[in-house]
A and B are shown apart, each in its own frame.
Chain A
Amino acid sequence: MLFENDATRIRREVMVRIARAFLEGNLVREIDRIPLEMRPRNAETVSRCCVYKDRAVIRYRCLAALGVGFDEEKDELTPLSAFAQQALDRKKIEGPVLSVLEIACHACVKAHHKVTDACQGCIARPCVVNCPKKAVSVVDGVSRIDPKACVNCGKCQKVCPFNAIVKIPVPCEQACPVGAIAKDAQNRSVIDFDRCVSCGRCMRACPFGAVLERSELLDVLKALRGPRPVVAILAPAVVGQFPGSLEQIVAGMKRLGFSGVVEVAHGADLVARAEAAEFAHRMRGGATFMTSSCCPAYVQAAKRHVPGLMAHVSDTPTPMHVSAEEVRKRNPEAFVTFVGPCVAKRFEGRNDPMIDAVLTFEELGALFIAGQVDVAACPEEPLEQPASAEGRGFAIQGGVTKAVQAYASPDTPLKPVYINGLTRTTLLQLKAFLSSCPGNFVEVMVCEGGCVAGAGVVGQAQVSAQKIRLLTDSNVTRKAGG
């Protein structure tokens, strides 16, 4: 799937402009100019009806980039500068990760089927004949669907010999694996946070860019200028996110002001060992199966949608948590920033006292641009503790299983089952495992392909996956412990 589109680009541009204004020391003074700079009066291209609507939407995008939820705006006259000041003054961001921008969303209408002008008004009329609700009739020589009677079963679409009937979906609803986002009576999408697992798929799917995450960009920028040493813990999916080697990315981050950069892959390696031991213990105790626990969107999905699974989810903490703990042991003062591909990790991070902030790779990219750091031009900075191939493999589908298998005891062999991408169907599959599981170790990745396909990536998932596979298939990289 191609992620790049204008909505993605606008989101990134807003982040860069805010980070740049901060680094230049005039965020509060300049932020109200950003919508005008992005859409000047004589702008050649506009995304919506006119520059004024574009500016209004960009203003809200600035709020999201500041980490402010749209519902925090009580008075529309409040300038962005006031919100920027408020963001600069806050201690830690709280509340839900995703937020729907109403004024950007309403253009999209409820999912429905529509007869297009490709309808030839044929005499076979399979659409009329096959409709179980008698919602299709022929008016003035062409088929018409009565929206009141139609239940969107899609039969008419399938049987039309001219492909004249289309389904117009609501992309966010279609993308959500757990039915957490839906249109209300006013046609606005609303997220049900009791159901939401924070996977971020709606954000990527919305063609209007109306679902935004509340960024922690400013919290990290502030910390980088503050007294505490800022230590970044980099998710294994970092491979392929930026041009240049891992060592160059580390050098680039140090140039931004991070005092240390640690690979979460190292924590992942510790997790794989602990999970292998836990697995053996559970199997000896008569458990039918165990599932991985590193994917926070999966753990939320289990908790909220298949609570019975929770007894099978591994108790081993996540690689992020383990890595943060290691950093804190050495450096209790550290401001620990997880940098990864994942929106759900933001949710996990906000609820984990070990983590001070979470950035996506997209946000790190915005920091690089704002700080004028060209990664590929940086000298290589060696990693203090290079991670093992097993740990680095956690970012791709199958990688967690491979790592646990490497440390598993021969008395309790793994019979792996993979859930590669959470969908409504795979969620049902997981539920079915409670009565009968075809294996004894279930690896669950909510994003299809693994973390490299997360909602916060910059690089192409298949390119990153290929690079990681090269790393994990060679034995020479196994450095840590082994």
Chain B
Amino acid sequence: MKKYTVCICSGTTCFVMGSAELQTLADHLPPELKDRVEIRFSHCLGLCNDRNFSRAPFVTIEGEPMGGATIPAIIERLGKLASGNA
């Protein structure tokens, strides 16, 4: 089965603005997604450099950026991908 890649930005801005919490994403994945997600951590993705940084923390899911990322939002997106409803 295809694995989906989630890449969590570990730049300092994203980390302080919320991606510290995203580090525990693996513990929050529902059973049907557990084996279908590969979680990576990256250096600053360079998405936060506007002065309002209002959308940090950023992740990319299958290469597509998501701002204001939260664990529920990531899981929702992955669920849609996995069920073919993306």
Contacts and interface: CB of A to CB of B under 8 A. Distances in A.
A12 B44 contact: no
Contacts of A16: 53
Most buried by A among B15, B16, B52: B16
A377 to B, nearest CB: 6
Given A369-B53, A460-B24, A376 B17 contact: no
Given A243-B41, A374-B11, A376-B10, A4 B18 contact: yes
A276 interface: no
Contact of A9 (B12, B18, B41): B18
B21 interface: yes
A37 B13 CA distance: 18
A369 B12 contact: yes
Nearest to B70: A4
A13 B52 CA distance: 9
B16 A374 contact: no
B43 A463 contact: no
B20 A374 contact: no
Contacts of A13: 17, 53
B13 A463 contact: no
A174 to B, nearest CB: 22
Given A4-B21, A460-B21, A376 B16 contact: no
Interface in B1-60: 10-13, 15-18, 20-21, 23-24, 41, 43-44, 52-53
A365 interface: yes
Contact of B43 (A369, A373, A376, A460): A376
A12 B70 CA distance: 17
A374 B44 contact: yes
Nearest to A362: B16
A118 interface: no
B12 A365 contact: yes
| Residue among A3, A9, A243 with most chain B CB within 10 A | A243
A377 B15 contact: no
B44 A460 contact: no
Contacts of B44: 374, 376-377
A242 interface: yes
A376 B21 contact: no
B17 A377 contact: no
A458 B16 contact: yes
Contacts of A12: 16-17
Given A369-B53, A463-B23, A243 B12 contact: yes
A2 interface: yes
A244 to B, nearest CB: 8
A274 to B, nearest CB: 34
Contact of A368 (B12, B18, B20, B53): B12
A462 interface: yes
Given A243-B10, A243-B41, A365 B15 contact: yes
A459 interface: yes
A31 B54 CA distance: 18
A12 B44 CA distance: 19
B12 A460 contact: no
Contacts of B10: 243, 376
Interface of B: 10-13, 15-18, 20-21, 23-24, 41, 43-44, 52-53, 70
Interface of A: 2-4, 9, 12-13, 16, 37, 242-243, 252, 362, 365-366, 368-369, 373-377, 458-460, 462-463
21 contacts: A4-B70, A37-B52, A242-B16, A243-B10, A252-B12, A365-B12, A366-B16, A368-B12, A369-B13, A369-B17, A369-B53, A373-B12, A374-B11, A374-B43, A375-B15, A458-B15, A458-B16, A459-B23, A460-B23, A463-B20, A463-B24
